[in-house]
Amino acid sequence: MSTMHRLGILLSGRGSNFIAIADSVAAGRIPNAEISVVISNKADAPGLAAASARNLTALAIEANGRKRAEHDAAIVAALREHRVDLVCLAGYMRLLSPSFIQAFPQRILNIHPSLLPAFPGLDAQHQAFEYGIKIAGCTVHFVDEQLDHGVIVLQRAIPVEESDDAQTLSARILEQEHIAYTEAIKRVLSGEYVIEGRRFRKR
């Protein structure tokens, strides 16, 4: 019997990546997976409302002036309570403390709207556009203790068109993100990979 994989989604805003993952799970495109909990550090995040509307467990766990480690401990406790085995950051706008990362070794994914290691940090699409890149894209990677840095699971690339501005480019990158996250989760949950140094490859 195949075991059910339990996903925990962390978000802070719009939640379009969460919605894409939820659609994939509902359509059976991510085999043997369910979303066990959606957590936001912002109570008014549209993504959290979208999770409730889908009858998923949706929790707001705000920092409320607590130190990062304390806030993260509350989130880790909620993830454990819901027996999450893969954490997916989907527009979660906070750095994770080392103890959070150590609680889920190689079990936290993030999506970033650039071809890492180019343009880590905020506003990656605008940074990339202004830099004059010709190929843009997105990266799904494991989270480690450095920002936008862990082992890369997959990337998707698109050309920058002459007619693009930063907004149209961001929108086309986002379409790729929605495809990439499902694919990356599937690959990780399959367990059919090895990590050699920084290289993630099929086993």
Residues near ligand GRF (CB under 6 A) are: 11, 13-17, 47, 90-91, 111-113, 174, 177
Q: Are 10 and 88 in contact (CB under 8 A)?
A: yes
Q: Which is nearer to ligand GRF, 141 or 197 (CB)?
A: 141
Active-site entry in 5, 71, 112, 178:
112
Spatial separation of the C-alpha atoms in residues 155 and 141, rounded to whole Å: 9
Burial of 15 (0-12, 13-18, 19+ CB in 10 A): buried
Q: How far is the CB of 13 from ligand GRF (least distance, A)?
A: 5
Spatial separation of the C-alpha atoms in residues 200 and 197, rounded to whole Å: 8
> Can you say how many angstroms the Cα of residue 200 is from the centroid of all Cα atoms in its chain?
17
Q: Which is nearer to ligand GRF, 71 or 112 (CB)?
A: 112
Q: How far is the CB of 165 from ligand GRF (least distance, A)?
A: 16
Q: What's the angle, vertex CA 17, arms to CA 11 and CA 18, rounded to 5?
A: 60
Q: Taking each helix axis from N to C terminus, what angle separates 16-26 and 46-53, rounded to the nearest 10 degrees?
A: 20
Q: How far is the CB of 62 from ligand GRF (least distance, A)?
A: 17
Judge whether 112 counts as a catalytic residue.
yes
Residue number, nearest CB to ligand GRF: 91
Q: How far is the CB of 20 from ligand GRF (least distance, A)?
A: 8
What residues are labeled active site? 112
